[in-house]
Amino acid sequence: MDDVRPDHDLNAEQEKWQGWIDGVCVDLDVPAELVDVAAIHDLSRRVAHGLARPLAPVSTFILGLALGLSLGEAGASAAPAGLSARLADRITGHI
């Protein structure tokens, strides 16, 4: 439950999200472990509140492009821990 919406079960929602994320990742041949939901949500929030709400999805798209370019041919096995969060911090450095 969250404090803002006491009837809201965030854990149950996150389980549903993970099922959706896993399915999309399988379909697109993307390693699900690269999907850092917390980093994506944090980036989106910081851009929406610090710059402009319509740029939140643009920022997450840029994050995806940067992540793909950073991984290059090496793929997910070469992804250092926290890469998404570090890239997100670089993006929000422009706010």
28-70 tens-digit pLDDT:
998 888 898 889 999 999 999 999 999 999 999 999 999 989 8
**CA-based max dimension of the chain:** 46
4-29 tens-digit pLDDT:
666 778 678 888 899 999 999 999 99
List the one residue out of 76, 63, 86 whose CA is nearest residue 29.
Answer: 76
pTM of the model: 0.78
Quick check: 59 and 43 in contact, CB under 8 A?
yes
The whole-number pLDDT of residue 31 equals 87
Residue, of 12 and 76, whose pLDDT is higher? 12
The whole-number pLDDT of residue 33 equals 86
In sequence order, what DSSP letters do the residues of 23-37 get, joined into one string? HHHHHHT--GGG--H
